[in-house]
Structure 1
Amino acid sequence: MFKAICLIRRKPGMTREAFIDRYENGHAVLCAKLIPGMAGYVRRYVVPDQTFLYPGAPDLDFDVVTELWYENREAYEASMKSLEDPAAAHALAEDERKLFDLSSIRRFIVEERTSALPPGGSGQ
């Protein structure tokens, strides 16, 4: 599986609840419609009062970890190429401006490794 990860902060002044609602019921729906070829599309929202930071670590500067999954790099590249369509690119950019602190967005590709766990989970 080929995955792109985005770390994103909500637009200043927007509550966490409004951000999640708008992302789930607006932007995620738009992305699913306009970005072809995704094998998975997941948003993982940070739970602020349940965040652990090591001493000296900076505060988190994002509200959501967004994952876009593809079967392979070729599928990802074809999907991103579809955003060259001016209408699709404009629709996504307009929606992102209303929802995200655009200066905060970081997107990167990850290599995933999965650990085999004993029956019943780890520590068993």
Structure 2
Amino acid sequence: MIKIVAAVRRKPGMTHSEFLNYIEHKHGQLARENPLGLSRYVQNHVFDSAFGADADPAYTQAFHRDSVTELFFADVSQMIRTMSDPHTQQKTGPDALNFADMSNQIAQLMDESEIRVQHPGTGAFKVMIFLKKLPDVPLERFFLTWNQAHDAVAAEQPIFGRAVRKQIHSRYLPEGDKITSYFGPDIQVSHGVSSLWFEHEADSLTFRAYQRSLFQRLAKEGVLDASGSFFVYAKEVVILDQQPNS
């Protein structure tokens, strides 16, 4: 399973609630009309977030994001079939002009792997961390350093380990760049996305301790672009699910 992850912000003149209402009920309906090769479509409606590093003006390139789109496909052929179809090209795609700021979009093709947690569950409180590497850092070094930093921080913070119910690490696939140009003329990339689920919103304090330590370790290792990294708290809204046994 592969997926496209796009962090979207609303167009000028639109409120956050107007944006969320539109993408769920109008844009989402366009996807349901003709799902093609799309296995699953999730909108993550952002209700809080933090961007960049302290006292760093460069973070404004990533700020702000109102929702995160996740489009899941069984394989590359199904993705290409969907993204090149006239329904996508003439209806679903152009509809973005009705709700999205098309400048500095963040979108990338990714694969994902589930991280083992102590107490698996179905927590309703979701957090997504977007990590951007420094330009001269090789992808494999970034991925390895990220995994090592996560393991070290999780070991140091047993409260976090007890609280998290599910964790997915998604890794950037450069071969998808031609497809993700669909999201706009100026695409930015996040090289890693960590999705975490907790039972309660109160677990945000536990998450924040983990997130701060993770960012500090990655920065110390010289792999993290802090200005381009951020996290969001989101409500997961499933628009479409055609996966077997779903």
Normalising by structure 2, report the TM-score.
0.43
The code of the aligned residue for 1:76 comes to: M
Partner of 1:117: 117
The structure 1 segments of at least 4 consecutive aligned residues displaced by more than 6 Å after TM superposition are none
Q: 1:102 is paired with a residue of what secondary structure? A: coil
Q: 1:113 is paired with a residue of what secondary structure? A: strand
The code of the aligned residue for 1:123 comes to: R
Partner of 1:71: 74
The code of the aligned residue for 1:20 comes to: L
Given candidates 53, 61, 64, the residue that maps to 1:61 is: 64
Residue deviations 1:6-64, cap 9 Å, x none? 1111111111111111111100110222341111101112213xx24442462523211
How many matched pairs? 119
Asked whether the 8 Å contact 2:83–2:89 carries over to 1, the reply is: no
Partner of 1:3: 3
How far did residue 72 of structure 1 move?
1.5
The higher relative CO (CA closer than 8 Å, separation ≥ 6) is in: 1
Q: 1:111 is paired with a residue of what secondary structure? A: strand
Normalising by structure 1, report the TM-score.
0.80
Structure 2: segments with no counterpart, 5+ residues: 122-160, 164-246
Structure 2: distance between partners of 1:61 and 1:102? 13
Higher strand content, 1 or 2:
2
Q: 2:69 is paired with a residue of what secondary structure? A: strand
Whichever of the two has the greater Rg, that structure is: 2
Structure 1: distance between partners of 2:5 and 2:34? 18
Structure 1: distance between partners of 2:120 and 2:31? 37
Residues 120 and 103 of structure 1: CA distance in aligned 2, closer, same or farther (over 3 Å): closer
Partner of 2:24: 24
Residue deviations 1:70-89, cap 9 Å, x none? 1122211121121xx2x652
Q: 1:13 is paired with a residue of what secondary structure? A: coil
Asked whether the 8 Å contact 2:6–2:108 carries over to 1, the reply is: yes
The code of the aligned residue for 2:95 comes to: D
Asked whether the 8 Å contact 2:119–2:162 carries over to 1, the reply is: no
The code of the aligned residue for 2:116 comes to: A
RMSD: 2.3
Query: Is 15-24 or 34-43 further displaced after alignment?
Result: 34-43
Partner of 1:108: 108
Q: Calculate percent identity across the aligned residue pairs.
A: 24
Structure 2: distance between partners of 1:123 and 1:93? 41
Residues 88 and 40 of structure 1: CA distance in aligned 2, closer, same or farther (over 3 Å): closer
Residues 37 and 13 of structure 1: CA distance in aligned 2, closer, same or farther (over 3 Å): same
